[in-house]
Structure 1
Amino acid sequence: MKPLKNREINLGMVLAYIKRCIDFILSFAYWTCACLINILKRCKMSSQKLNNNLNSDTKKGSRMPTTAALLMCMILLAAILTYIVPAGQYERAFDEATNRTLVVANTYQNVEQTPVGIGGLLSSFYRGLVNAAEIISFVFITGGAFGIISRSGAINAGLEKLIRKFAGRESILIGLIMTAFAICGATFGMAEEALPFVTILVAASMALGYDATVGVAMVVIGIYCGYSSGPLNPFNTGIAQGIAELPIFSGLGLRVVLMAGSLLIAIHHTVRYGKKIKKSDIEKSIELDNRETFEMTSERKLILGILVLTVGVLIFGVLKYGWYFAEISALFMVMGLIVGMIYYKGDFNLYTTEFLKGAGEMTTAAIFIGLSRAILVVLQDGNIMDTIVYGISLPLQNLNSVLSAWGMYFTQGLINFAIPSSTGQAVVVMPIMSSISDVIGTTRQVAVLAYQAGDGFWNMITPTHPVVMASLGLAGISFGRWFKFASVLVVKWTVWILAVLAIAVKIGWGPF
């Protein structure tokens, strides 16, 4: 079929598409709120849950659900949808070029309804933990290794030195940290690897007089500015371009522009929020004079040097040899062992004790990862994940090129709730989006960019995303509190992304 380069805008289809999106969001919100109300009627929030360790930011009388409660409600909602949404599947075929099993476009068909019953619902959490075992194992190992470094005081000493150096210029420090994480996300696809840094940056944020939200933002939002734009990210750009048969990492220039703009927006948003916190929430600030100080000794300098070297080896290994969880975990184990030998003077008992303490601090994050994965398990058991993808993407074929590119972006954002994995979303969605782009006359490069942006930037408000939920668990922040902060940022990002997509369509951004 020839591309329709001058297709007229069909207002009826535009409205139908918007209505479909609104219906999806409203039904999602309705069932979630209904579940939350039932739980909250049986639970009274106590002000005693508010403590100095940031284990909870729930206030007395607040009806804000905890992160765990929200995830459990979403599992229940997913099970309910398996009784309502028609079951369906795409055909799948193994692709030797990408070494992955991909969806075959235009093969969707309805199948026999397979609703998830009580047994499947109750076992979904266990199966979610099993399915996420690779990530959870990685989290525990890195948590243990970073626990050893943290207890050496080297990181604290380094942070105190930075804080003193940037006294009165905290905004610059926030920008530098977010830029560093953005580069890591853009080059080797850093995501789960950053979880150990969350607790460190939360402590730094509190020391600067901010709150835990700023600490999480410096890590997570910084990373996803680079990860989502993906100039050299092998996990979204590389895989999606391979599926779309594009040259790997082609179109680098515009992706760098997207990254730079989104990073500037994120830094401004975070700094502005931080200034409000400093002015209005004094009791959450921690004065450096009242904290234990850590002297920057030669031993701690050596430990920090080992940490920097480890990150350098990590980047090299991922880019050069395609390292993944197993290899990176081994690298962090070696780092922890070397630091332990230096700091504990060969006392293996102390080393193992501190390793277990560090790993134990990651338990909440691991539970949240399992709960997030359980939602995907329920959707797969009910055979409705492909139906959701099909139903949301179908109207795109009736829009003109610019509107279709925008529609792809919003479609990916909605699909992200069901498939939060960038790789998983690419293998399911990109064959479909590539075919749609050929039909409507946009380039496949535009389709890849729309996928990246919708997947990555919307992760910040996706309660099924394991990295975000694990980070909130480590920082003791409820999803509701985080959503208030991140949703405004996503709106700002969206305006920027739509502009970039429109430019990409108009210039025929390719090569094809």
Structure 2
Amino acid sequence: MATKPNAEKKERKSLSSYSILFIIIFAVGIITVIASLFTSDITGASLPDILDSSVEGLIDAAEISFFLLILGGCLGIVTKIGALNAGITALVRNMKGHELLLIPIIMAVFAILGSSYGFCEETVPFYALLSMTMVAAGFDTMVASATVLLGAGVGCLGATVNPFANGVAIDMLNQSGVAVNTGTTIILGLVLLAASYAIAVFFIMRYARKVKADKGSTILSLQEQKAMDQTFGPEAQAGAAAGKAAADGEALDPNAPMTRVQKITLALFGLAFLVMIVGFIPWQSFGVDLFALGGVFDAETESWVVLPWSAWITGLPLGEWYFKDASVWFLLMSVIIGVVARMSESDLVGTWIDGAADMVGVALVVGLARAIAILMASTHLDVVILDNASNLLQGSPAFIFAPVAYLIFLGLSFIITSSSALATISMPLMGSLATSLSFSPDVVVMLFVAANGLANLFSPTAAFLPGLMMAKVEYPTWLKWAAVPIVAIGVASVAILTVAMMIL
């Protein structure tokens, strides 16, 4: 079937992520001013409040933002060595004819991580890495973005033991005197996970097949395609490899096997990500303590104190890490990789700074997204919305309560990005309301988890916007592609939980 010329079909301009976030920040500020005229429970935001929230958001997100800068520096070193390009080339060569299998396999890994501990913000680095792989395999960066975002997203949506969503929600209900059966929540989580994973895989695979068969079928605009080619295309990767070969005084051979240095570099880079993921998983919450492998002599007690080996690096054991610890780890690995590759001090530092500079825009977006939640909380708009919304559910039957409660959680999740914060605010009220109506609090927990997970797939305040920037995919383009699968996943989730509410 003939396709329209690329320029005719794709030439369009979209607002940048920065402009979209600033528009939302000002819109929230205006809403608070209007709402404050009708209720004293809301404080109208002043112009300084609105402007200050942007800076406060940047400060609040500093830990994640600095991690992205340090990651960018490490990524720049690995790219300069040529390890990523060589490794991806070898992977695609070995997967020849079976590239589509990469999608469900990678999604399954992300989904398991998302379901177990809320693997969401931690996915940002993988957008660039997977974009390189998918473009080399003949797809586009939309396939890469959807694989990461929907993979981890359906995991969070179908969370089973996520301590930051299920855990906090159940704990808040317990504190309110409402008992929750965790076995039921786990079963419902698995059902949601299986259904949403199947839907997501179907839509991504269908689109990926079209793109691989006909590059003109990509949904990316002409500008996005150019940015993709310049960053992840064959010429860009060949240029990086050529630069490395020229620096080493060697001739470029794209079919050459990986060098010993590239193999070691890729292994170290993979180890860095593996340790980061293991460090983020809250093992102690699951009763697991596998990392007490070292010790230090305490002079005061004159005895040896057992410490996890990671505590020698960051001060905290694996399982208690957050982005500060990951930043320390990747900074250390940047130096180790540079030394292994025998880079000079000036080359290592210069390459690291150039890599970090490429991440500045991404790091800023993280902070601007935080500003919206900060403005909502400071004006009490979030609490007022929840109080009024819960009043609508008084006396409603199960088949009304479940979908309306889902929509309430979805709306709140759009602006309150933290699952633990939203659970703390909403669950005592919604759980007690459900109990008074003789509805299952177990299902209420999963209504919250599923709605919060779905919001993470489209809300501009969620963690994925920096990832899309890394993949050179504009936010409006993502919404255009993802609208149908997101609606399908949402409808399936509501149907499953409504039936559960009616029978439990």
Q: Same fold (TM over 0.5)?
A: yes
Q: Is the 8 A contact 1:242 1:248 kept in 2?
A: no
- Tell me the distance in 2 between the aligned counterparts of 1:380 and 1:134: 20
Q: Deviations over 1:465-490 (max 9, x none)?
A: 2x221112222222111101112111
Asked if residue 239 in structure 1 is aligned to residue 168 in structure 2, the reply is: yes
- Provide the rounded CA distance (Å) in 1 between the counterparts of 2:79 and 2:395: 55
CA contact (8 A) 1:174 1:267 kept: yes
Q: TM-score, normalised by structure 1?
A: 0.77
Identify if the C-alpha distance between structure 1 residues 63 and 165 changes in structure 2 by more than 3 Å, giving closer, same or farther: closer
- Number of residue pairs matched? 430
Alignment of 1:105-144 (within 5 A): 111=40, 113-144=42-73
User: Contact (CA 8 Å) 1:401, 1:441: kept in 2 or not?
Assistant: no
Question: What corresponds to 1:219 in structure 2?
Answer: 148
Shift of 1:419: 0.8
Compute the RMSD of aligned alpha carbons.
2.9
Summarize the Cα distance change of 1:483–1:351 in structure 2 as closer, same or farther, 3 Å threshold: same
**Pair 1:84-2:25 in alignment:** no
2:113 to 184, 199, 204: 184
CA shift for structure 1 position 170: 2.4
Among 486, 493, 499, which residue is 2:495 paired with? Answer: 499
TM superposition shift of 1:278: 3.5
Distance across 1 between alignment mates of 2:82 and 2:170: 44
* Equivalent residues of 1:241, 1:249 under 8 A apart: no
Alignment correspondent of 2:372: 375
C-alpha change, 1:63 and 1:351, in structure 2 (3 Å) is closer
Within 1, Cα distance between the matches of 2:371 and 2:117? 27
Change (3 A) 1:354 1:227: farther
Q: Select 2:18's aligned residue among 38, 49, 68.
A: 68
Q: Give the deviation of 1:382 after TM superposition.
A: 2.7
**Which range is displaced more, 491-500 or 323-332?**
323-332
Provide the residue aligned with 1:451 in structure 2.
Answer: 448
CA distance in 1, matches of 2:370, 2:452: 16
Do the aligned partners of residues 186 and 336 (structure 1) sit closer, same or farther apart at CA in structure 2, a change above 3 Å counting? farther
Of 249, 271, 276, the residue aligned with 2:210 is: 276
CA distance in 1, matches of 2:72, 2:170: 33
Measure, in 2, the Cα distance between the counterparts of 1:202 and 1:387: 41
What is the CA distance between 1:250 and its match in structure 2? 6.4
Among 73, 79, 89, the alignment partner of 1:160 is 89
Q: 2:482: which partner in 1?
A: 486
Deviation at 1:249, TM superposition (A): 7.4
1:258 is aligned to: 192
| Distance across 2 between alignment mates of 1:386 and 1:183 | 32
Partner of 2:259: 297
TM superposition shift of 1:453: 0.8
* Alignment check: 8 A CA contact 2:110 2:151 kept: yes
Q: 1:204 aligns with which of 133, 139, 146?
A: 133
| AA at the equivalent of 1:82 | T
| Amino acid in structure 1 at the alignment position of 2:333 | M
2:300 corresponds in structure 1 to none
| Distance in 1 between residues matched to 2:278 and 2:128, nearest whole Å | 25
Task: Report which stretch shifted further, 270-279 or 418-427.
Answer: 270-279
User: Any idea what SS the aligned residue of 2:97 has?
Assistant: coil
**Once the 2 structures are TM-superposed, how far is the Cα of residue 279 of structure 1 from its aligned partner?**
4.3
Whole-angstrom distance in 2 between the partners of 1:361 and 1:328: 19
The 1-side partners of 2:79 and 2:261 are apart by 13
Please state if 1:340 is matched with 2:365: no
Q: 2:103 aligns with which of 152, 171, 174?
A: 174
Residue 405 of structure 1 pairs with residue 424 of structure 2? no
| 2:185 and 2:443 in contact (8 A); partners too | no
Pairing 1:427–2:424 present: yes
Greater shift after overlay, 372-381 or 77-86?
Answer: 372-381
2:321 aligned counterpart, secondary structure = coil
| Cα 1:202–1:407 shift into 2, 3 Å | same
**1:290 offset after TM fit, Å?**
9.7
Deviation at 1:63, TM superposition (A): 6.1
Which one-letter code corresponds to 2:473 in the other structure? I
Deviation at 1:507, TM superposition (A): 4.4
Could you tell me which amino acid in structure 1 is paired with residue 326 of structure 2? I
Partner residue of 1:319? Answer: 282
**Cα distance in 2 between the residues matched to 1:288 and 1:73:** 37
- Asked if the contact 1:150–1:156 (Cα under 8 Å) also holds between the matched residues in 2, the reply is yes
Q: Contact 2:127/2:144 (CA < 8 Å) preserved in 1?
A: yes
Q: 1:288 to 1:163 in 2, by over 3 A?
A: farther
Aligned amino acid, residue 322 of structure 2 = Y
Paired residue secondary structure (2:282): helix
- How far, CA to CA, are the matches of 2:144 and 2:161 in structure 1? 26
Q: CA deviation at 1:373?
A: 1.5
Partner of 1:441 in structure 2?
438
For residues 507 and 309 of structure 1, the distance between their equivalents in structure 2, rounded to whole angstroms, comes to: 47
Looking at structure 2, the residues matched to 133 and 289 of structure 1 have their Cα atoms a distance apart, in angstroms, of 34
1:104-125, CA deviations, whole angstroms, 9 ceiling, x for partnerless residues?
xxxxxx5365322222222222
Distance 1:333 1:184, change over 3 A: farther
Q: CA deviation at 1:158?
A: 2.2
Question: Which residue, 468, 471, 483 being the options, matches 1:472?
Answer: 468
Taking structure 1 as reference, are residues 399 and 147 closer, same or farther at Cα in structure 2, changes over 3 Å only? farther
**Distance (Å, rounded) in 2 between the aligned partners of 1:280 and 1:241:** 48
Identity %: 30
CA 340–295 in structure 1, closer or farther in 2 if over 3 Å, else same: same
SS state at 2:138 partner: coil
User: What code does the residue aligned with 1:440 have?
Assistant: L
Structure 2 counterpart of 1:201, which letter?
Answer: L
Matched-pair contact (CA < 8 Å) for 1:344–1:351: no
User: Is this contact kept in 1: 2:36–2:43, CA < 8 A?
Assistant: no
Find the aligned partners of 1:440 and 1:344 in 2 and give their Cα distance. 68
1:267-311 per-residue CA deviation (whole Å, 9 max, x = no partner) reads 111111222334453495978699623732333222333334334
Report the Cα offset of residue 493 of structure 1.
Answer: 0.3
Aligned-partner Cα distance in 1 for 2:499–2:42: 43
List gaps (5 residues or longer) in structure 1.
1-49, 52-57, 89-109
Instruction: Give the Cα separation in 2 of the matches to 1:204 and 1:312.
Output: 18
Which of 285, 303, 328 lines up with 1:330 in the alignment?
328
